[in-house]
Amino acid sequence: PQPIRLEDYTPPAWLVESVHLDVALAPSRTRVRATMRVLPNPDAAAGTPLTLDGERMTLLLVSVDGAKLDAGAYDLTDSSLVLPHLTEGTHEIVIETECDPQANTSLTGLYQSNGVYCTQCEAEGFRRITYFPDRPDVLAVYTVRLEGDAAACPVLLANGNCVESGTLEGGRHFAVWHDPHPKPSYLFAMVAGDLAHVSDSFTTRSGREVALGIYVEHGKEDRTAYAMDALKRSMKWDEDAFGREYDLDVFNIVAVSDFNMGAMENKGLNVFNDKYILVRPDTATDVDFANVEAIIAHEYFHNWSGNRVTCRDWFQLCLKEGLTVFRDQEFTSDMRSRPVKRIADVKTLRAHQFPEDAGPLAHPVRPTSYIEINNFYTATVYEKGAEVVRMLKAIVGEDAFCAGMDIYFSRNDGRAATVEDFLDAMAEASGRDLSQFKRWYDQAGTPDLVVSGRYSPLDETYELTVAQSTAPTPGQSQKAPLHIPLTMGLIGTDGEDLGLYLAGETSEDGATERTLELTQHEQVFTFEKVPSPPVLSLLRGFSAPVKLTTNGGEKDWLFRMAHDSDPCARWEAGQTYARELLVAVTRAIAAGEKPRRGTRYADALRNVLTDDSLEPAFAAMMLDLPGEAELAQHIGQDVDADAVHAARSHLHKAVADQLGDLLLDRYAQLQSNAAYSPDADQAGRRALKNACLRVYAGLGNENAARLAATQFASANNMTDTEAALATLTHMARDERQAAFDSFYERASGDPLLLDKWFSLQAMSSREDTLARAMELAKHKDFSLTRPNTVRALVGVFAGANPVRFHAADGSGYRFLTAFVRELDPINPQVAARLLGTLKTWRVYDAPRRDAARQAVSDLLSAGKLSEDTYEIATRMIA
Ligand code: B3K
Ligand code: ZN
């Protein structure tokens, strides 16, 4: 397969003014008649024949301006339809095709999920529905007439507003939908089936009455209330925070059970993975509720960042995704606790994006080439993309950022924009030169910051030396310095922040926090009027996605765990301390020495547990040890996954030993009889309670098992149920089997609960987990055609169970690649993404590396792979 390159971009030769789709739905033979007005693009080279993308369809008819073309008058390939004689003028093209939704297991284009017809067009699915210039810079006005069996498909939905509907002969009926906003084909959607729905309404600030609908399988209506509420709060928030109003009379959401990702922002008709809509206290955890809120918001916010202003080409994906993630993060921060949200996002970034940036799949936020674009919906494009927007805001300041957003939206409304358009708007609003900042979009890899501070008592100055560097990544051996906002403070011996007076600056404001701007390989900042040696607090609010090394040590970490006024930096102090301890324990175990017990670390956690001024959700995060995968990354080479697991278990147990009764006390105190509510406060208290349970379970003894089993038996909400099972799953005790059996019974007939049952077993650190996962892959409730279930079992095993996945004998890797091979012909997108979980293999030791490389080479030589999986496999071992 030939890669597509950013540098080869050329504007479309033809534009499409309007599309009228006539769709006659039938399970295996759906007919689509597309009527479009096409015209040459005045901004492109003239005289180019009309070329349309299309695949996996049967072409039935092509006509131009009313005249049917003979087969000799067009060129048809597996992926395109070319009309060689059509090189100029405005024309009406009619194309009739047939496709087979029932047989479509790839879940892109038109497919059926549990009998419901639905579509997924991003990135390139529309070309499986009709022949079309399927690229985001071709914007057209769509009208869709859907016709289907009235009994099988009482609901007929498409983008925009419904303008006509009626019954037809033979038990069929139809609906016509019109979307007045020109849009790229990737935002097209239609849905048809027998669905229940709940309605509500929202009045926009200028008085537009919007009818809201959420469509779900019958019987699931009672799980939609939270999603609807989140939708209304999102609509309001985007008006208040970004001045963005909704622009149609209808906003519909459909929840389907088979979906390749979380959700899709189709104009006026969002389609969701039902996991991110359907929540009820007894079926969903606090985390599930929070995900629903965030994803509803994310897809809704795309209406402006993505739909009204779309992307010129797929290399600009971060323009809509990074920005929209930033917007949903801000929304959640406003709805819940800002510091807790920030820490949660840092954890996600570190768990998913940093390893990506450090491994064989590393790519810039704006990639420069791809084989299959669906492989680039990554943590780098989404999460690092959001960090880049956040840094920009830190550099230009709140006011200029808001002004820049307004310029960006108004100047690019109805256009397909680029990263340059975004930066231009920000540069104009702020008057800042952002040319160096732009490197964040083009340069892959996580920068390393090495910072050292030196206090000089004589002149009462504190000198900060900051060096930045970025390791080479595939295809980029040389790295230039980046423009990095480094937010920092200095803490005095009393724990209070000191005023900051930067040498060479005239303003004497003495603010206690500042954002230093790094632009060079190395820079020195001198602070004056520092009365005594301060403790350095760096990267406050995690102001940049970097790895930080300082010359501070245990004393500093302990001090900042207790005193840092910035919650993010305070949490990070604990993490840094724990990481260093864990590395020391890993070494000691390998050398046969007696490992440390982390006494002072445990003392610091004791303070956290007894400090009532801390937000419970924050305290829960402080109690969390860094995970094994993060540790492996931190060690960086020749990692023995068993040693890391042993070290973490050792420290976990040591902490549990030392905190013992205090954990039980707090656990008991945090029990509550209040009626369940998913709000952040209650969820935070549950998080802390369950963190106490989790830490206590480090003892692995009878008491811990009994505590978890009791919680399982008495829980009145899924958060507590799941937490109990997540504790029991690692144990080799009778309580475990009993709880899992009872949970299975309860889950019967409910796919979302069954998925929890799969994943809670797949994450077990028990030695028999791989064998169990292999058994579960043959279980009657497991299915290769359900992405959620595939992710729950194989995704969780490979992505969240480092010690078993990275088994020294390579058995975990072989399980994954064998599975990918089986899944690839069924669903290439999900198969490729699963294979991506191997991306950290290079940090492990030689036997593991050899096994990983072998497993991937075997996959490559075992037979033809999809482009999706082929691209990941080849990059993985390049
Ligand atoms: N834009 C979609 C993702 C599409 C993925 C295509 N493989 C959902 C989102 O980011 O909001
Ligand atoms: Zn998105």
Q: What is the CATH number of the domain that holds 22?
A: 2.60.40.1730
For atom 8 of ligand 1, which residue has the closest CA?
A: 264
Query: Domain range holding 400?
Result: 310-442
Output the residue whose Cα is nearest ligand 1's atom 10. Answer: 321
Please name the residue whose Cα sits nearest to atom 9 of ligand 1. Answer: 264
Catalytic choice (96, 265, 299, 630)? 299
* Protein residue whose Cα sits closest to atom 1 of ligand 1: 264
AA identity, residue 695: V
* pLDDT single digits (tens) 243-296: 999 999 999 999 999 999 999 999 999 999 999 999 999 999 999 999 999 999
Q: Which residue, of 699, 728, 760, is where some domain finishes?
A: 699
Same structural domain, 316 and 427? yes
Ligand 1, pocket-test mutation among 264, 311, 318, 868, most atoms within 8 A of CB: 264
Is 572 a domain residue?
A: yes
Q: How far is CA 468 from the centre of its chain?
A: 27
Looking at the fold, whether 693 and 813 belong to one and the same domain comes out as: no
Residue 730 belongs to some domain of the structure:
no
Beta-strand runs (E) in 559-682: none
Cβ of 377 closer than 6 Å to ligand 1, yes or no, is: yes
For this complex, say whether ipTM is above 0.95.
Answer: yes
Structure tokens at 872: 């990941």
Does 261 sit in the ligand 1 pocket, CB within 6 Å? yes
Q: Would you say residue 475 lies in a domain?
A: no
Q: How many independent structural domains does the chain possess?
A: 5
| pLDDT for res 505 | 86
Report the atom number in ligand 1 closest to the C-alpha of 321: 10
pLDDT tens-digit series, residues 474-521: 999 999 999 999 999 999 999 999 999 999 887 767 899 999 999 999
Residue 395: give its domain's CATH number. 1.10.390.10
In this structure, is residue 524 part of a structural domain? Answer: yes
Residue of 56, 53, 58 lying closest to 31 (CA atoms):
58
In this predicted structure, what is the pLDDT of residue 506? 76
Q: Pick from 699, 717, 737: which residue ends a domain?
A: 699
Q: Which ligand number lies closest to the CA of residue 305?
A: 2
The CATH number covering residue 523 comes to 2.60.40.1840
Q: What tokens appear for 218 in the block?
A: 């019958």
Same domain, 401 and 488: no
* 3-state class (DSSP) for residue 267: coil
Ligand 1 in reach of 327 Cβ (< 6 A): no
Are 329 and 189 members of one domain?
no
Amino acid code (one letter) for 218: H
- If asked whether residues 695 and 629 sit together in one domain, one would say yes
Looking at residue 67, the DSSP 8-state letter turns out to be E
Ligand 1 mean position, distance from CA 862 (Å): 30
At 150 the three-state DSSP class reads coil
Q: What is the pTM of this model?
A: 0.99
Residue with CA closest to ligand 1 atom 5 = 122
pLDDT of residue 510: 87
Last residue of a domain, one of 489, 522, 544: 544
525 and 558 share one domain: no
**Secondary element (H or E) of residue 143:** strand 140-149
The secondary structure of residue 374, as a DSSP letter, is G
Give the distance (Å) from ligand 2 centre to CA of residue 255.
17
pLDDT < 70 positions in the chain? 508
Is residue 302 domain-resident?
Answer: no
CA distances to 6, 365, 476, 871 from 369, rounded to whole Å, are 6, 12, 13, 11
532, 578: one domain: no
Indicate if 823 and 877 belong to the same structural domain.
yes
Helix (DSSP H) and strand (DSSP E) numbers for the chain? 29, 32
CA–centroid distance, residue 298 to ligand 2 (Å) = 6
Domain CATH number, residue 689: 1.25.50.10
Q: What is the pLDDT of residue 396?
A: 98
How far away, in angstroms, is 377 Cα from ligand 2 center? 9
Neighbours of 85 (CB within 10 A): 11
Tokens of 227: 């999603």
Query: 80: buried, middle or exposed (CB in 10 Å: 19+, 13-18, 0-12)?
Result: middle
Q: Is 767 a catalytic residue?
A: no
